Chain A
Amino acid sequence: MQFDFQRLGALMRKETIQILRDRRFIMLFLGLTFVQLFVYSYAASRTVYHLPMAVVDQSQDPTSRSFVQALVNSQYFDATMYLDDQSQAKQAIDKSQVKAALIIPPHFAASVDQHSANFLMLLDGSDQFAVRSGYSAAGLVAQNFGLQMSAESVALTGAMPSLSDSLPINTSTQILYNPDLNDKWFVIPGIIGMILQTLAIEQAAIFLVRDREWGTMEQILATPVRQLELILSKMIPLSILCLLAFGISVGLGIFWFGVPFHGNLFLYFWLALLFLASCLGLGLVISTRATTQFEAETSSMIFMLFGLLLTGLFYPRTGMPLIPQLIGDIAPLTYFIRISRGIYMKGVGLSFVWGDALILVIYTLIVVGISSKTFKMRLD
C-alpha cells in the first residue's frame, strides 16, 4: 500500500476548504486576474497620443502641408504652433510648450518627387514614452505618406517604379504584427503569464509553510500520508484555480480588450500548463526553504519583481546588461512570455517556440527534483 486515493481525497478537501475560506487568497486571485489585467492594459498604456508638436515648414508647398496633415490625422501629433526656424522649435521644447517639433526643409515637394526627401523630427528626450511613441509614429506616417505619393505618381505617369527605387521619404521604421502600435496587444499576452506566475509561486510557497506555521504539518506527518499525496493535494486545487485565472485572462484579452488570438488555443493551453508546473515547482522549493509565511511571501515577491522588470514584460531584454539578463533567466516567465506572444500575437506553432518549451520542461524537472529532495516526511 503506497498511494491511496482516499487519503488524497481527504487532503484535497482540506486544502480546498482552506483556500476558499482564506480571504487573502480570494483577494489575491481577483486582484491579480482582474486588477492587473485592467491596470496594466489601460493605465500603464505607454502609447502617447496627441503629442503637442511645433511645425517649422520651410517648404510651404502642397506636399509639405499634406504631410503635416497626415501626421495630425494619425492622432499621434497635434500641430499646436507654427514657427520659423529650428532654434525656435528647440526653445519651444525646452520650455515644454511642445513635446515634438517637425522641421521640413525647403523644396520638400521637389525632393519627394526625386525620392530624396528628408524631414527632421525633434523629440523631447526627457519623456521616454513620448520619444518612443513619437519616433515610431513619425516613421510610420512618413512611410505611409511616401507610399501614397509613389502610388499617386505611378497613377499620374503610368510608369512602374523600378525595384531599385526607394520610397520618396526616407524612413527606417517598420512595425510587424502590431501595425497600430497598440500597447495592449503587446502587454496582454505577457500579463497573462505574469498573473499565472505570481499566483502559482506565491500560493505554492505559502502552502506548506502555512501548515508548518499552524503546526498542522506535524499532525499530518504523524499519519500514514505519503509525500506525493501531500504535495498533489496542495498542487491540484491550486492548479485548477490558476487555470481558471488563465481562462478568465485569455477571455478578457480576446473579448474585452479585443486583442485577436492568432494561434492554436489548444497548444497555448498545454504550454501554459507546463509553465504553471514550473511555477508551482519553484513555489515548492521556496516553501521547503522558508520557515515562516512572511519569508515565503517575501521570496515569491522577488520573483514578481523579476517578472515585472527582467523578463521582457515591459522592458526589452535585448537592451539589458548581462547580469540582469541572467537574473531574468531564473524566472520561468521569461520563457513563457516569448511563447505567449508567439502563439497569441503571431500565431506561430510549436516549431517556433519549442526551444522555450524545452527550457520550461527542464526547468520543471529541476525544481520538482529539488523540492522532492528537500521536502522530507520528517520534521528535521
Chain B
Amino acid sequence: MNQFAISATNLVKEFKANKHVVTAINGLSLQVAPGETYGLIGPDGAGKTTTTRVILGLLSRTSGESSVLGFDSMNDMYEIRKRVGYIAQQFSLPPPLTVMENMLFFAGIHSVSSEQQKKRIPELLAFAGLSEFMNRLAGKLSGGMKKKLALACSLIHEPQVVMLDEPTLGVDPVSRREFWNLLGNLRAERGLTIFVCTHYMDEAERCTRVGLMYEGKLIVDDSPANIKRIIPGHVLEFMPSDFAAARKLCNEMDGVLEVQTYGDKLHVFVGDVAKRKPQIEAALASQGITHDNLREIEVRMEEAFISLIRRQKESVEQDGMLTQKSEMSGEI
C-alpha cells in the first residue's frame, strides 16, 4: 500500500502486430498524489491511451508495476473499477439509451442503491446541465453534451479517482471550458484525484502537474510553471514579410537558441532580450524583411512542449549518429 492515488513503475507494454513487436509504453514511471489533477500530454501515438488502459487494468502489462489507490492494476482490477470513474476516448455510452436510462444503467452496474440513485442522479444531471435532456437518446446529443453525460455517468458511484482519456476531443471551445469548470468544481468540492490525457495545451495549463509523454516514455514530469521554466531564455514573437527567409536568417544568428513557427508568426528563443532584440531587428532590416512589432511574449506550454519534443528527437538522432560513428571506427 502506498500513499499515491495512481502509481506506475518501469511500466512496459508491448503489442504483437504480426511478427513485429510494438513497444507502446517503454519503462514509464509516474506518481499522482491524492487530490492532484495530473495531465498526461504528448503527441498522437505517444502511448497516453495505452498507459491509461494498463493502469485501469483494461490492458495487460508486459512488465513493471502499476496500481490505483494501492490496488494492483492486474490482480485487483475489480477493486480499482469500483473506485474509479473512467471516460474512454471514443464516446462510448450506449447510443440507443436515453440520458436517464444511461444514468440508471451505470448506477445499476455500480450497485448504487435506489435511494442513493434518487438523490445522486438529479444532482449529477443538474451539475452536468443535462436536466432538460433527460429523455433524449445519448446518440442524439451534441459532442459536448455527450462528454458531460459521460462525466456524469462516471461519477454516479462517487469514485475517488477519475481517469479521462482526451475527454474534450472534438468539442467546441465553449463546451471545453464548461467541461473543465466542472472538473475544477469536482476537485475543489470533493478532493477528487483527476488523471487526464489531453493534447490541448490550455488544458495542460489547468493541471497541477503535467507529464510529457513521447514514444512510450515520460520525458518531463512537473508543474506547468516549472516546465515552462525548463525552457531556456525568452521568446520573441513577430510576423515577417518573408517568412522562409526570416526563419533561415534567425536560425543562423548567434545567441538564438531555437526558432519555432506559430501560424504566420515566428517565435525566436534568445538568452538576452535586451542584447538580441536590436540585433535581430537590424539583421531583418539589412535583408529587406519588414515585420510587425517584435515583442517578447510569455512562454506557454505550447512552446515548451514543442521545444522539449524537438530536443528529445535531436538527442535520439545524435545517439544514433554516435553509435553509427563508433561502428564505423570499429570497422577501421
Contacts and interface: CB of A to CB of B under 8 A. Distances in A.
Contacts, number: 84
A54 to B, nearest CB: 63
Interface of B: 15, 53, 56-60, 77-78, 81-82, 84, 86-88, 90-97, 101, 104-111, 150
Given A214-B92, A214-B94, A214-B95, A223 B60 contact: no
A211 B57 CA distance: 19
A224 B88 contact: no
B53 A224 contact: no
Contacts of B82: 224
Interface of A: 4, 6-7, 9-11, 13-14, 17-18, 21-22, 211, 214-226, 377-380
A18 B53 contact: no
29 contacts: A6-B108, A7-B109, A13-B101, A14-B101, A17-B96, A17-B97, A18-B94, A18-B97, A21-B96, A22-B96, A211-B94, A215-B91, A216-B92, A216-B94, A218-B88, A218-B90, A219-B92, A222-B81, A222-B84, A222-B86, A223-B81, A223-B109, A224-B78, A224-B110, A378-B57, A379-B53, A379-B58, A380-B15, A380-B59
> Sorted from nearest, which 6 A-B pairs have the closest CB atoms?
A10-B108, A215-B92, A215-B90, A222-B86, A219-B92, A21-B96
A220 B81 CA distance: 10
Contact of B111 (A4, A21, A214): A4
If over half of A's interface residues share one DSSP class (helix, strand or loop), that class is named, otherwise mixed; here it is: helix
A6 B82 CA distance: 14
B58 A221 contact: yes
If over half of B's interface residues share one DSSP class (helix, strand or loop), that class is named, otherwise mixed; here it is: mixed
Contacts of A4: 111
Given A10-B105, A13-B105, A379-B58, 11 more contacts: A6-B111, A10-B107, A13-B104, A17-B96, A22-B96, A218-B88, A220-B109, A221-B58, A223-B106, A224-B78, A377-B77
A214 B60 CA distance: 22
B309 to A, nearest CB: 28
A128 B91 CA distance: 56
Contact of B60 (A10, A220, A378): A378
A224 B81 contact: yes
Contacts of A17: 96-97, 101
Nearest to A7: B109
A14 B111 CA distance: 15
A224 B78 CA distance: 5
B109 A218 contact: no
Nearest to B86: A222
Contacts of B104: 10, 13
